[in-house]
Chain A
């Protein structure tokens, strides 16, 4: 009889807590969004599965000795996984559109206002009972506005590891929702005539420019913001491997096999942080709300900056490309192109929007470096 009792007590059914069941349902929701809705499936699928695994009673996936525990501490706590992902992203990024029209860097800079404005929002939430965000927490939450998954995970793991799960879920969910969040803001802030603006064709960018560019960016980061060199350095390494043309095998590995392998572990590691005690609280709701605010403000400030540039610049600038400054490569650029085509079916803005889009990646890495330097 006693052995039967022991056997019963070792089953999941006897040990389930309500929080674990709810978090497993959250994991299933992430799987649904990834599989049925195609929302950032590469990360949401392992993340959702990680959430299910980490909430299995008795199995101890996230306790010392558990698989997810080691994945998290080896790859995310150390910052290795997001940095390797950033290298792969660098190897997939073409800076040609940015080099051809460098003033679009200002659009990438303006969109980072979403990050810093959300800092205020996170602190303001402290006025509501139940919220106790420190400046570190607020900074980690605000980086969601950078619309850059690896940057958000990197910064959250350094500044507020206990909020990592909610921040990663918010960052990737909103990145997947860019085609829904951005267009209404873009239409509200621009006139029909502005959306019809056709931009001048971009100049040809030579190979030497593309090779020197990542080295120049790295040099500037070393001089002015060493705190951002882990992110920017790995990004530039990946980009240099792509552009130099002599290490095609390494470039191919960085943007295919390596990034795929790391994405699996990154997703599982982030999923391990989706435990009931860490996720099921009022702060998670605050983080999800602040993430939406951050995205919206970033989009709006990019569009407004592009409008301003269109007014003062000799060359015409379609304000829609400003929305691509929030990073989220290449989704935000595609959205700018799509909204532009609705007003002018002959106006293809994709290449013009890629400039602010990759500028946004650099901008969010710089913003993360600033937050690390000042708050970390």
Chain B
């Protein structure tokens, strides 16, 4: 029984020391990442790979299958005009 108690005491000490050490070790690693690696990342950023400039195209929205801005403006104006007239008639 004494032997078992002794083993429990040793296991408890081991648990306490082990958990404190694991947290301390990984805590220092957090400091290392925040203080050293982050500064290195700011000082030496990854080189930006220049992508090939795309050819300028003069395609309008109409050509892409959309609606050109002047047409949208004309429709919006017509809709608001209609709504105004409609509300007055009421």
Contacts and interface: CB of A to CB of B under 8 A. Distances in A.
Interface in B17-40: 17-19, 21-23, 25-30, 32-34, 36-38, 40
Given A123-B4, A213-B33, A224-B25, A135 B18 contact: no
Interface residues of A, number: 44
Nearest to B21: A370
Interface in A336-376: 359, 362-363, 366-367, 370-371, 374-375
A290 to B, nearest CB: 13
A207 B46 contact: yes
A116 B22 CA distance: 11
Nearest to A217: B29
Contact of A366 (B25, B37, B46): B25
A138 interface: yes
Given A123-B8, A209-B41, A363 B22 contact: yes
Contact of B37 (A99, A359, A370): A99
A135 B6 CA distance: 10
Nearest to B47: A207
A102 B29 contact: yes
Contacts of A205: 41
Contacts of B23: 106, 109
Most chain A Cβ neighbours within 10 Å, of B18, B19, B23, B28: B18
A208 B21 CA distance: 28
Interface residues of B, number: 31
A112 B30 CA distance: 17
A118 to B, nearest CB: 10
A115 interface: yes
A366 B26 contact: yes
A105 interface: yes
A138 B11 contact: yes
Nearest to A126: B4
A209 B25 contact: no
Given A208-B40, A366-B25, A116 B18 contact: yes
B35 to A, nearest CB: 10
B26 A363 contact: yes
A149 interface: no
Most chain A Cβ neighbours within 10 Å, of B8, B28, B41: B41
Given A127-B4, A370-B17, A220 B29 contact: yes
Interface string A269-287: 0000000000000000000
A109 B22 contact: yes
Nearest to A112: B22
Interface in A173-190: none
A73 interface: no
A371 B41 contact: no
A113 interface: yes
Given A213-B33, A216-B36, A370-B22, A206 B14 contact: no
A117 B15 contact: yes
Contacts of A311: none
Contacts of A119: 11, 14-15
A120 interface: yes
Contacts of B27: 105-106, 109
A120 B18 contact: no
Given A102-B33, A112-B22, A138-B7, 13 more contacts: A102-B34, A103-B30, A116-B14, A120-B11, A124-B8, A204-B46, A206-B45, A216-B32, A224-B28, A225-B25, A366-B25, A371-B14, A374-B17
Report the 4 A-B pairs with minimum CB-CB distance, sorted nearest first: A116-B15, A102-B33, A105-B26, A209-B37
